[in-house]
Structure 1
Amino acid sequence: MSAAPAAPRPGSADPAEFDLLLTPPTARTGWRVAPARVVALCAVELQKLRHDRSELYTRAVQPALWLLVFGETFTRIKAIPTHGIPYIDYLAPGIIAQSAMFIAIFYGIMIIWERDAGILTKLLVTPTPRAALITGKAFAAGVKALIQAVVVIVIAAVLGVALTWNPLRLLGVAVAVVLGSAFFSCLSMTIAGIVLTRDRLMGIGQAITMPLFFASNALYPVALMPGWLQAISRVNPLTYQVDALRGLLLGTPSHLPLDYAVLAVAAALGIVAASSLLPRLAR
């Protein structure tokens, strides 16, 4: 019989263990760590919903009023040409985009609060890339907006809006909502890096939300706008988000490749702009 292997003597250690103690493993940096940090920061942001879910309920009031009051009234009046689609059906994708934008456009207030509480400074001294920090917050805003979009879709379905339930189209809706919200949250954080205070950011946010909303195709076709407003609408990312949502949910003619390209580029530029101003905000 072969002899059993000798048990290691007390106090002895494998040479490989000594190597590990003397030379610690190389930490992941750069692009290798960025995706994990983005997911982690996004999860931290979403944990806040577990402690205060009232925000979801209160934010559902305004979209419901738009659909119930504005949508039902203009459906009866038939003042806005919608190519044979009931106006409340035409309006529903616009209200989804509007409610998502309203959640994201004030996201800069949260990062200013984190600056005042000292949280932002602690995050900036970690190995987390600034772009990953901003991206995590941007996509957390997108997931919050996606929850709001589900609420609006349910309200619209109860009101009889003829929406699609095709899983692939709904997945496309989710992507459009997240990309659009990521851009508007980055726009808010960029403004926060410029104005540096919550009061100024609140004033600017309130000043730009309604112009962005009315200078889009959320309430009426772009063809009905005067020429100068059409030019603004064509550079407004909300227009492309509404176009994608309307095409996916209602099956109306749309330009999905262009819509997604504009939303993706806008979100990427927003991340770059907000990341570059983050150190200024933390001073």
Structure 2
Amino acid sequence: MQALDYLLSIDINYIAIGLIAVFFTLEQILSTQFSFRDRGKHFWNSFLFQIVFFAGNLFWAGVTVFSIEWLNQHEIGLFYLIDLPLWLKLILGILLLDLSTYWFHRLSHRVPVIWRFHRVHHSDTTMDSSSYFRAHPIEVLFWFGSTPIVAAGIFGLDLMVIGFYFLVLTPFLVLEHSNLRFPAWLEKTFGLIFTTPNLHKIHHDQDQHYTDSNYADIFILWDRIFGTYKYKPADQVKLGLKEFDEDRKQTFWYLVRSPFIRIERTEKENLISHNRHS
């Protein structure tokens, strides 16, 4: 319990930055899955998103904590109807929060106005561990706050359970975006239940047929259950979005403005073709 309290006291942003420092270094040393140029420039454009998010989150985190504490004080949610031991609450909390983010993520691909912000993350044609940072601040603050609040209201999750979820989630997110080689047998073992790096890279394929799949962050089980699981060998994945495949469209300033620019999704033809042959 003491160890858990200590881990939860560490700012999750520091944990993410530490993990990325390790994996980004490994990407420069080891044989990588994809060969990219200008890694320093790519890292800087990604890290600028984290700086903006960190500034905005100083306010939004307070709103999120206040909302969850209010829900807890009024004992709102399913967990308040049954008496569960802490270890079971933590396990169920991870499952339920990951299920919630699965549906939020799936929704962000289906609703055009939300996709405009979410596509910033998918626009990365040279993905590596620093791509963890690359998400529009408006989307991240909305997701970072609304998902835990909604889950707390429905399931009765408290700040400890939610903090533990983010503690488990962060290594998954960094690892899933890292540009390292992973053995194919991972998908046949851990990939039956968990989202492996290769399975997540399929979600970042330019082909919309694959982009709109493998939404889960921790448990690929949700995609298998709800029919959104897809597979292709990792070496056949072409990363990013075709409409962002230009150097000028990979800069921080363009990406921040991009949700407010009309950019047609160029992979609709592929999706129609897949649907005709399925």
TM-score, length of structure 1 as denominator length? 0.34
- Of Structure 1 and Structure 2, the greater helix share is in 1
Rg larger in 1 or in 2? Answer: 1
TM-score, length of structure 2 as denominator length? 0.34
